[in-house]
């Protein structure tokens, strides 16, 4: 409770008892009045004191946390002293108040935190976790060439111990045997078909060549006929038509002239009328025939030259073109037919070859119907990946009789339970400190088991995953009989050990950014008032809390471990105290 509250309570009690004191006093100031006056004065002084304390408290809080703690302790002491003061001693109260003011105004320096250097053992370990694996693990995979249906008849259980050559799994071969028989029958048929195609190819080639030759002959004959028509026959046809017209005209003129001469002759002759009439009638009939013949010849000439002959020209031309196109088509079709026939034959040969290869693959797959153990060991379903058996659970549900085994997977792994190691991963920041042959303390996850001696067998310099590298821990101590691959454990790799090392807390080491060096504050005397000096140091290894000092400090030196310590910059950069190497 603050002092002001106590004063106010005291004043309240005096006000309550004041009437009694005034009634009993005849003259002069009473005790109550005197005490009330003293209390009021003390309260005023206490208020002033609290204002000063508050201001001082703000200043001290801005400087350092240690001053706040000390001030709180001083106030607590002042409170205790105020409670012990007698109410009827004014002089004592003023004197104590003055002392409290002087005590609050006095600034006390916090006690310095120091460390005396003593050499002690330093052991740095890298802790990793991993899984137990066997150095000898033989995978049993179902890598078939063609066949994909593997129905299980019998299979050894997960965790069984097997001997080399013992049957691991047996599949039902019935479907595969039927497929092989059908393929063999198809091969015999394809072989006969291939033989026929090989025999028909020469005959086909000869037939197509003959057809092409005949078509070429027809085209040549047609070409000759067309040339003969255009070069000779057409002109003869024109000339023949002209000659026929001319002959008909000549006959017409001759008959006409003959009739005129007979008529003149008969007029002067003494022939009988009957004879004349007969001869003239004949001649007139002949003239009529000649006229008709001429008209017919004239018409035929006009039709032949005007219509029939041009049509004949076009027919001959079209016929010649049709024969030429037929020859071209036959040439193209002959080449295509021959190419198609050869391709079909080649395709049949390739199909035959693939069929033989498939038969060979199926025959090879038939050997997978019974899989035997390549080595003796313990059967683990699935495969080990980075020390983990991630597929075991799912395969235990699949690898059962009358179920199908997945093709192209590792069904099981034969594990040698004798040669065991721990496969773990080390972080990237710890990788440079881990080397082959370093001692390891291996602790298995199983409870109640003593640590096992081991060593680093190999460190993989290629990352297994992002920021992590595989490390193999070889077991050198006694291996428990019950230890099997798949179990887990933790390993402490001893990467650095020193029996006598100079170690200081990390907070006690500072870095000079300009000089790019490290230093500590050296305390010459164990006195809080003594200034500290900068001491340059050379750093060594670091564990979780401490840093090894290789140079700059020796056993018996005293340093400040306060991270906010400030001192003089008089340290000798070339000072090379006794280092920590023994």
Q: In this predicted structure, what is the pLDDT of residue 469?
A: 93
Q: List pLDDT tens digits, range 289-299.
A: 888 888 888 88
Q: In this predicted structure, what is the pLDDT of residue 73?
A: 60
Q: List pLDDT tens digits, range 353-372.
A: 888 888 898 898 899 999 99
pLDDT bin (cut points 50, 70, 90) of residue 28 is: very low
Q: In this predicted structure, what is the pLDDT of residue 378?
A: 93
Give 424-473 as a DSSP string: EEEETTTGGG--TT-EEEEEESSTT---EEEEEEEE-SS-SBTTEEEEEE
Q: List pLDDT tens digits, range 235-262.
A: 888 888 888 888 888 888 888 888 887 7
Measured in whole angstroms, the distance separating CA 305 from the mean position of its chain's CA atoms is 89
Closest by CA to 414, choosing from 142, 131, 161, is 161
Q: Which residue has the higher pLDDT, 570 or 310?
A: 310
Calculate Rg over the CA atoms of the chain. 65
Lowest-confidence region among 41-50, 447-456, 471-480: 41-50
3-state helix, strand, coil in the chain (%, to 5): 50, 25, 25
Determine the average pLDDT of the residues in 348-356.
88
Q: List pLDDT tens digits, range 516-553.
A: 899 999 887 655 566 788 899 999 988 888 999 999 99
pLDDT bin (cut points 50, 70, 90) of residue 109 is: low
DSSP annotation of 386: T
Q: In this predicted structure, what is the pLDDT of residue 110?
A: 60
Q: In this predicted structure, what is the pLDDT of residue 225?
A: 83
Question: What's the token pair of residue 206?
Answer: 């000869």
Strand 114-116 relative to strand 370-372: parallel, antiparallel, unpaired? unpaired
Range with top average pLDDT, 33-42, 262-271, 320-329:
320-329
Domain boundaries, the chain: 3-105, 124-172+374-497, 176-367
pLDDT bin (cut points 50, 70, 90) of residue 212 is: confident
Length of the chain: 582
Q: Which residue has the higher pLDDT, 456 or 300?
A: 456
Q: List pLDDT tens digits, range 130-147.
A: 999 888 899 999 988 889
Determine the average pLDDT of the residues in 97-122.
66
Give the three-state DSSP class for 418: coil
**Angle, in degrees to the nearest 10, between helices 234-268 and 309-366:** 150
Strand 370-372 relative to strand 377-381: parallel, antiparallel, unpaired? unpaired
Please report which residue ranges of 85-160 form alpha helices under DSSP H.
90-105
Question: What's the token pair of residue 324?
Answer: 């030429």
Closest by CA to 438, choosing from 358, 497, 398, is 497
The answer to whether residue 199 scores a pLDDT higher than 60 is yes
Percent of the chain with pLDDT over 90: 24
124-172+374-497: in CATH 1.20.1260.10: no
Average pLDDT, the chain: 78
Residue 147, burial from CB neighbour count under 10 angstroms (0-12, 13-18, 19+) = buried
Closest by CA to 459, choosing from 7, 130, 10, is 130
How far is 176 from 172, CA to CA, in rounded Å? Answer: 8
Give the three-state DSSP class for 107: coil
Q: In this predicted structure, what is the pLDDT of residue 174?
A: 92
The answer to whether residue 161 scores a pLDDT higher than 90 is yes
The answer to whether residue 437 scores a pLDDT higher than 90 is yes
The answer to whether residue 45 scores a pLDDT higher than 80 is no
Q: List pLDDT tens digits, range 389-429.
A: 888 889 999 999 999 999 889 999 999 988 889 999 999 99
Residue range 176-367, CATH number: 1.10.287
Q: Which residue has the higher pLDDT, 320 or 56?
A: 320
Q: In this predicted structure, what is the pLDDT of residue 3?
A: 46
């Amino acid at each position: 409770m603050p002092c002001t509250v106590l004063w106010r309570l005291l004043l309240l009690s005096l006000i309550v008892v004041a009437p009694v004191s005034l009634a009993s006093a005849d003259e002069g100031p009473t005790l109550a009045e005197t005490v009330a006056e003293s209390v009021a004065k003390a309260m005023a002084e206490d208020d002033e004191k609290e204002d000063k304390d508050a201001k001082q408290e703000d200043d001290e809080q801005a400087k350092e946390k240690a001053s706040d703690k000390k001030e709180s302790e001083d106030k607590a002491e002042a409170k205790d002293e105020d409670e012990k003061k007698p109410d009827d001693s004014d002089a004592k109260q003023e004197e104590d108040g003055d002392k409290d003011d002087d005590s609050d105004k006095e600034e006390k320096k916090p006690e310095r935190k120091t460390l005396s250097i003593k050499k002690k053992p330093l052991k740095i370990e890298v802790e990793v976790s991993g899984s137990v694996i066997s150095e000898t693990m033989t995978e049993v995979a179902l890598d078939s060439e063609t066949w994909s249906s593997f129905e299980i008849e019998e299979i050894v259980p997960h965790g069984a111990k097997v001997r080399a050559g013992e049957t691991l799994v047996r599949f039902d071969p019935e479907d595969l045997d039927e497929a092989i028989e059908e393929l063999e029958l198809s091969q015999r048929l394809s072989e006969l078909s291939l033989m026929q195609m090989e025999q028909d190819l020469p005959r086909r080639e000869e037939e197509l060549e003959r057809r092409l030759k005949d078509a070429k002959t027809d085209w040549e004959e047609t070409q000759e006929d067309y040339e003969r028509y255009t070069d000779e026959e057409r002109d003869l046809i024109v000339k023949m038509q002209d000659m026929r017209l001319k002959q008909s005209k000549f006959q017409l003129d001759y008959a006409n002239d003959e009739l005129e001469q007979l008529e003149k002759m008969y007029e002067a002759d003494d022939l009988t009328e009957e004879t004349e009439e007969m001869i003239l009638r004949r001649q007139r009939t002949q003239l009529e025939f000649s006229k008709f013949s001429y008209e017919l010849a004239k018409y035929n000439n006009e039709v032949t030259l005007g219509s029939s002959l041009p049509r004949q020209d076009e027919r001959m031309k079209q016929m010649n073109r049709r024969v030429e196109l037929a020859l071209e088509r036959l040439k193209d079709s002959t080449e295509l037919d021959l190419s198609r026939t050869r391709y079909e034959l080649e395709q049949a040969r390739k199909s035959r070859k693939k069929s033989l290869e498939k038969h060979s693959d199926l025959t090879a797959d038939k050997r997978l119907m019974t899989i035997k153990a390549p080595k003796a060991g313990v059967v683990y379903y699935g495969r080990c990946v980075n020390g983990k058996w991630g597929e075991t659970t799912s395969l235990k549900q699949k690898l059962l009789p009358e179920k199908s085994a997945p093709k192209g997977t590792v069904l099981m792994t034969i594990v040698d339970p004798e040669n065991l190691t721990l496969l773990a991963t080390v972080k990237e920041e710890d990788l440079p400190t881990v080397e082959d042959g370093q001692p390891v303390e291996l602790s298995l996850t199983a409870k109640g088991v003593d640590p096992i001696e081991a060593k680093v067998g190999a460190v993989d310099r290629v990352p297994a995953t992002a920021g992590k590298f595989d490390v193999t821990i070889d077991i050198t101590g006694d291996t428990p009989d019950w230890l099997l691959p798949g179990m887990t454990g933790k390993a402490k790799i001893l990467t650095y050990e020193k029996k006598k090392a100079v170690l200081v807390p990390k907070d006690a080491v500072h870095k000079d950014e300009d000089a790019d060096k490290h230093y500590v504050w050296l305390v010459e005397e164990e006195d809080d008032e003594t200034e500290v000096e900068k001491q340059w140091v050379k750093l060594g290894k670091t564990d979780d809390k401490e840093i090894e000092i290789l140079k700059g400090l020796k056993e018996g030196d005293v340093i400040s471990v306060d991270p906010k310590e400030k001192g003089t910059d008089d340290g000798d950069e070339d000072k090379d105290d006794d280092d920590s190497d023994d």
